[in-house]
């Protein structure tokens, strides 16, 4: 009888240990699910933000010319004259002395304008997507990094060219 009690106590301990292990596994699984849930929520928020940006139909115009009051018709004419694209601006408002924001009728018009904006090089008219201050800050950092990388490559290229000339002189 004592041995049976000992065996039963041992079995109870083993079962309790198994229950403890299962509870730990459940806790770890819940934590992992919560982490995955948070990651998925971040991805969803990010996707929603990108979708929201895509649905924005606004562009920024900067005209260093004499136009002090850029109106809807002037923006449409400016885009038609310089880019050869007929667009309809839904809304135009000034954000500075020579700057304005124009909301296009649809997303495709905005995309066409942004694709053709390279035709404005050398003119005092600039067109960009209307970005939030945070997005503009990030874009600025990206441009700075790209400029630094170009300069670094240029220096390395010049250095390699000089070394190549030195090697040729030594051989010759």
Question: What are the tens digits of pLDDT across the range 87-128?
Answer: 888 888 888 777 888 888 888 888 889 899 888 888 888 888
Describe the crossing of helices 72-83 and 107-116 by its angle, rounded to 10 degrees: 50
The enclosing domain of 97 has a CATH number of: 3.30.70.330
Question: What are the tens digits of pLDDT across the range 134-152?
Answer: 888 999 999 999 999 999 9
**Cα–Cα distance for residue pair 98/114, rounded to 1 Å:** 19
One domain for residues 123 and 60: yes
Could you say which DSSP state residue 120 is in?
A: G
One domain for residues 124 and 61: yes
Strands (E), the chain: 58-63, 89-94, 99-104, 125-129
Poorest-confidence range of 20-24, 55-59, 75-79, 111-115?
55-59
Q: Count Cβ atoms below 10 Å from residue 138 Cβ, excluding itself.
A: 12
Total domains present in the chain: 3
Its domain, for residue 108, covers: 56-130
Higher pLDDT, 24 or 73: 24
């Amino acid at each position: 009888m004592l041995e049976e009690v000992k065996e039963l106590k041992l079995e109870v301990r083993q079962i309790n240990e198994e229950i403890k292990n299962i509870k730990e596994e459940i806790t770890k699984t819940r934590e992992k699910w919560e982490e995955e849930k948070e990651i998925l929520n971040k991805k969803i928020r990010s996707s929603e933000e990108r979708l929201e940006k895509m649905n924005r139909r606004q562009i920024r115009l900067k005209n260093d010319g004499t136009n002090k009051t850029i109106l809807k018709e002037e923006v449409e004419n400016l885009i038609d004259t310089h880019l050869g694209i007929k667009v309809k601006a839904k809304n135009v408002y000034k954000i500075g002395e020579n700057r304005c924001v124009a909301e296009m009728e649809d997303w495709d018009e905005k995309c066409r304008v942004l694709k053709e904006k390279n035709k404005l090089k050398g003119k005092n008219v600039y067109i960009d997507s209307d970005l939030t201050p945070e997005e503009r800050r990030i874009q600025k950092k990206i441009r700075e990094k790209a400029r630094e990388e170009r300069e670094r490559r240029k220096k390395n290229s010049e250095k390699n060219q000089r070394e190549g000339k030195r090697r040729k002189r030594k051989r010759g």
